[in-house]
Structure 1
Amino acid sequence: MIKVLAAALSLACLSVPAFGQDTANIPEARSYETRGQVTVNGQRVRYTATAGETYLLDDDGNPTASIFSTAYIADGTTDPRTRPVAFVFNGGPGSASLWLHMGVFGPQRLVLPDVQDDGAAPYDVVENVYSILDVADLVFVDPVGTGWSRPLGDHEGSEFWGVDEDAESLAAFMRMWLSEHQRWNSPKFLLGESYGTLRIGALLNQLEGGFTDVSINGVALISTVLDFRFDDTSDGNDVGYVGLMPGFAATAWYHGRVDRSAWNNDINDFLDAARTFAIEEYMPALMHGVTLPAERKARIVSELSQFTGLSESFLERANLRVSLRRFQRELLRDQGLSVGRLDSRYTGQEVDGVGDSPEQDPSFYGIDGSYTASMLDYFTRTLGVDITEYYSSIGGVRGWNWDVGQSGGNSYINVAPWIARAMRQNSDLQVLVAQGHYDLATPFFAAELMFNQPGFDQDRVHFKYYEAGHMMYIHQPSLVDFSSDIRELITNR
């Protein structure tokens, strides 16, 4: 699963000690500083942008890895207590922060046609009036193995590639950045997308779980996945089908595969009914298994068909259990199309008319070329970054360590308890949960089921929904609402 996406943090060049490890083959950390300005929310913001490398150090002061980040610090702040700083990262795991950087938060923004392949260069990049630089300084961070971040010397990527390992290295980076920029007493926010939301859970454990506490004012969980049980349809995990089902319903609605008139053409009423059906009818039916009475099964099949747009015969053959990839392929099979995973509004042509899974995710290959090109063009021409090494936008990380210490090696990763604990121990921590209706990679109902569990302060958990998918900001109306929701999180602390 591409728990796509988010990162990029600011950067200060730290000197590399000359003792201990042989540093002869480790070059000086690179840093590039420029000045810029952008009009945001009617306000002209002048800022300093610093893009470059920060070297992480071991206990003996020897460099272990380089983290590349991009920081935007606005002019005119005299008291750091009045100026928030937001650390931003994407997911993957293994994704650089270009998506949130060029998609919504940075001073320049890539503009794409909605629900259409991005084609080839040149792409349209404009001044980003939806940036949040008017209310917070921004630090975009690329974890080790993404972008230009890399292990150093004799160290290997595997030392940083895991739930705990990743969080530990990013927590170290954040502490270094706060010290270098004298921002320990600034309000602090974490903005993460996809796997970046799981990263936030692990980071809160690292930052607030010990004695050198970095208390966080607020987090934005953008396309949330914290407990994998609620969208994983591995054998024996029926709750995953329940977490997906209302997302299937939303997709069927968008593509005209359900009777909208039965719900007065109101998608919110329709999805509320889908949620109720999922919990009160569908889940009990799955729990009954083969003991489900035939008459009741027939009724469940009929209603499930009405919600998902799949035929009753297909649902019968699937034993009521439809995996994500099968749904992507089946919904529009009669048109020779598959629907997207990250954004199910997108469709892709399928050559194989009888396949049970899509060739690729049309909602990812519809945007990936444009983001990579615009990010690298911006780095090199606007920020003056003189680096010609390979830039890994996504996919450069392998062998991720998913073990977070659960007994028995439980394969369903769950970092939600760390967020719940942080909320109990930090009364200022606000949680924004941003979900797209058409996101099948991290479904909105799966996030709801997770936050319905005990332990969270429900008054400080704020759900926001968008008529788009995983990267809701590629949809113009959703971009406007999403930017406003993030701004509200930061200003209403």
Structure 2
Amino acid sequence: MVLLFSLPVLAENERQIDVDNLVTTQHKTTILGQTIKYSASIGTQPVWDEEGNAVATLHYTYYQRSDVQDISRRPLVISFNGGPGSASVWMHVAYTGPRILNIDDEGYPLQPYGVKSNPYSILDVADIVYVNPVNTGFSRVLKDKEGKLLAKDKQKEMFFGINADIKYLAEWLNTFVTRNNRWLSPKYLIGESYGTTRVSGLALALQESQWMYLNGVILVSPTEIGIKREGPVEVANRLPYFAATAWYHKKLAPEFQAMTLEQFLPQVEAFTMSTLLPALTKGGFIGAEEKQQVIQQMARYAGISSKAIMQNNMDVSLDFFWKELLRDEGKTIGRLDSRYLGIDKKEAGVEVDYFPELTSWLHSFTPAINYYLREELNYKTDIKYNMFGSVHPWDNSNDNTGENLRQAMAENPYLKVLIQSGYYDGACNYFDAKYSMWQLDPSGKMQDRLDFKTYESGHMMYLRHADLKQSNDDLREFIKAATPAEGQPAIYKH
């Protein structure tokens, strides 16, 4: 069954998205052996300015289980990807949604392209809405009554910056929750990469400007969320990621290769915090003997030569590591997932020519999402689906999103946080994420409400089949644990 509501604003023969429309289709799938019936509602909802004029419209896809009688107890998960400028496509058709990419068990593209059922989707325990911010997916800035777009500087002020993004999305979510009668539902935000900056800021904005309180925030492959990692901390925090990657590519001594990552990485982390970081703080005044000992141990863990580390004064950049680790094999490694291999024009140099993981992912995601939305969910439009949209220059100033998340947790005793990271993610590495978690609440009084999970894959850990199952299981358990029992008050006890 298809239900279509539309308020068109199209001039004749003009290619433009409808301001406010909705297409709903009915489906069923099997999740963890259980048959689940659900509706998929896909459409657009306006962004209004302070005068009540529609200035943009956001495209979204909303999945709702059909056999739930009381949605007041049914969790709602609100999902964002990152960039900034990325569509909410990655987690939609590869992680939590009911349909996922046709890929192999390690996440590499397969033809024919397309989608298949996701047997681990969290739709059994929660409804999900995937939101595309302005200029991503089918979301667009709208023309005014005179047929003109907002000036570029006005667009930036309204949409394209850390705090502007949070402000308009909080307003938009208020409307979505109201339209869909979800005010009573337990609510969760999930963001990936830059999306973690977005949802960390939204946690407080929703509380303070929309009076909407959350049960949980999930940070997938988080950014720094305004928690600075500069100088020696930034340099030292790379080593555990280097070590995990070198272990995967079998570049370590037999004693390390014989260990599991869970056995091996704690000693690397301990060395990083207890030895490497203090050594780096000494800069050029470190003693020659100490420097040599530290470099030799770094080389053993990172899988590259002590000479290369010495030449970089122990500050081995990510770009150099991606080029250096497999240089003798004529290969480079991926940025977002260092399991992926690339081939550069020259083996020499200190930077890779391209990121092989991203080209691999665009291989499969782009045809899949275009087919899926138009053919399976029946959303017909000539508007191009922007995998990455025009949002730059992005205003990164005044990033207090980590502090905003801490404040939201302090104000809301219900609110819990889950962090998910892949060991092989070089863009948002897992040890940086762990460091941010440690620094999020300096008082330590809320550490029992922070949970951390790691996976043997990269930025999009769910592409690996084993981690697709485990990461969704972790989400499912988090949602259940963060949804309080009936009658349980939000209160701090003496």
Give TM-score, length-normalised by structure 2: 0.89
Q: Secondary structure at the match of 1:98?
A: coil
CA distance, structure 1, for counterparts of residue 400 and residue 277 of structure 2:
21
Q: Secondary structure at the match of 1:65?
A: strand
Gaps (5+ residues) in structure 1?
A: 1-10, 18-24, 405-412
1:345 is matched with which residue: 330, 339, 343?
Answer: 339
Q: Secondary structure at the match of 1:367?
A: helix
Please tell me the residue identity of whatever aligns with 1:307: Y
CA distance, structure 2, for counterparts of residue 262 and residue 49 of structure 1:
48
1:204 to partner: Cα distance: 1.3
Conserved in 2, the CA contact under 8 Å of 1:343 and 1:440? yes
Q: Where does structure 1 differ by over 6 angstroms across 4 or more consecutive aligned residues?
A: 11-17
Query: Are positions 1:311 and 2:305 aligned together?
Result: yes
1:241-256 pair list within 5 angstroms: 241-256=235-250
Query: Are positions 1:36 and 2:30 aligned together?
Result: no
Partner of 2:488: none
1:224-263 pair list within 5 angstroms: 224-227=222-225, 237-262=231-256
1:270 to partner: Cα distance: 1.5
1:447 is matched with which residue: 433, 436, 439?
Answer: 433
1:277 to partner: Cα distance: 0.9
CA distance, structure 1, for counterparts of residue 55 and residue 19 of structure 2:
13
Please tell me the residue identity of whatever aligns with 2:173: M
1:77 to partner: Cα distance: 2.6
Q: Secondary structure at the match of 1:91?
A: coil
1:129 to partner: Cα distance: 1.0
1:191-340 pair list within 5 angstroms: 191-210=190-209, 212-227=210-225, 237-262=231-256, 264-340=258-334
Counterparts in 2 of 1:308 and 1:426: CA distance versus 1, 3 Å: same
1:42 to partner: Cα distance: 2.2
Q: Secondary structure at the match of 2:264?
A: helix
Partner of 2:116: 126
Query: Are positions 1:160 and 2:154 aligned together?
Result: no
1:229 to partner: Cα distance: 6.1
Q: Secondary structure at the match of 1:99?
A: coil
Give TM-score, length-normalised by structure 1: 0.89
CA distance, structure 2, for counterparts of residue 99 and residue 160 of structure 1:
21
Counterparts in 2 of 1:307 and 1:184: CA distance versus 1, 3 Å: same
1:306 to partner: Cα distance: 0.5
Query: Are positions 1:185 and 2:171 aligned together?
Result: no
1:455 to partner: Cα distance: 4.3
1:483 to partner: Cα distance: 0.7
Partner of 1:361: 355
CA distance, structure 2, for counterparts of residue 116 and residue 350 of structure 1:
22
2:85 is matched with which residue: 76, 80, 94?
Answer: 94
Conserved in 2, the CA contact under 8 Å of 1:14 and 1:55? no
1:310 to partner: Cα distance: 1.2
CA distance, structure 1, for counterparts of residue 7 and residue 370 of structure 2:
26
Q: Residues 416-467 of structure 1, C-alpha deviation per residue, up to 9 Å, x if partnerless?
A: 1111111111111111110111111111111111111214511011111101
1:78 to partner: Cα distance: 2.8
Q: Secondary structure at the match of 1:133?
A: helix
Conserved in 2, the CA contact under 8 Å of 1:72 and 1:138? yes
Percent identity of the aligned residues? 35
Partner of 1:5: none
1:460 is matched with which residue: 442, 446, 449?
Answer: 449
Q: Alignment RMSD, CA only?
A: 2.1
Gaps (5+ residues) in structure 2?
A: 10-15, 144-148, 483-494
1:28 to partner: Cα distance: 4.7
Partner of 1:21: none
Partner of 2:175: 176
Provide the aligned length of Structure 1 versus Structure 2: 462
1:151 to partner: Cα distance: 1.0
1:107-118 pair list within 5 angstroms: 107-114=98-105, 118=109
Conserved in 1, the CA contact under 8 Å of 2:6 and 2:22? no
2:394 is matched with which residue: 397, 400, 407?
Answer: 400
Conserved in 1, the CA contact under 8 Å of 2:418 and 2:451? yes
Please tell me the residue identity of whatever aligns with 1:125: V
Counterparts in 2 of 1:28 and 1:277: CA distance versus 1, 3 Å: closer
Counterparts in 2 of 1:176 and 1:455: CA distance versus 1, 3 Å: farther
Query: Are positions 1:79 and 2:70 aligned together?
Result: yes
Counterparts in 2 of 1:13 and 1:342: CA distance versus 1, 3 Å: farther
Conserved in 2, the CA contact under 8 Å of 1:253 and 1:260? no
